[in-house]
Amino acid sequence: MTLFDEYEVPKELTEDAYDALELARDTGKIKRGSNEVTKTIERGQAKLVYLARDVEPEEVIAHLPLLCKEKGVPFIVVPSKDELGVSAGLEVPTASVAVVKPGKAAAKLKEIVDNIEALMRGEELPKKEAKAEKAAAEAEEEAKEEEAEAVAEAEEVSKEEPAGAEKEEAEKKQPKKRVQAKKAPKKSPSRKAGEADQA
d(CA 132, CA 32) in angstroms, rounded, equals 33
pLDDT (tens digit, 9 = 90+) per residue, 87-130? 999 999 999 999 999 989 889 989 988 888 888 777 776 665 45
pLDDT (tens digit, 9 = 90+) per residue, 44-96? 999 999 999 989 888 889 999 999 999 999 999 999 999 999 999 999 999 99
Homologous superfamily, domain 2-125: Ribosomal protein L30/S12 (3.30.1330.30)
φ, ψ dihedrals at 48, nearest 5°: -155, 135
pTM for the model:
0.61
- With a CB cutoff of 8 Å and minimum separation 6, the contacts of 17 are 9, 50, 76, 78, 112
d(CA 125, CA 118) in angstroms, rounded, equals 7
pLDDT (tens digit, 9 = 90+) per residue, 132-162? 555 556 667 777 777 777 777 777 766 655 5
Better pLDDT: 10 or 180? 10
Give the model's confidence band at 22: pLDDT under 50 very low, under 70 low, under 90 confident, else very high. Answer: very high
Q: What is the pLDDT of residue 177?
A: 47
Q: What is the pLDDT of residue 147?
A: 78
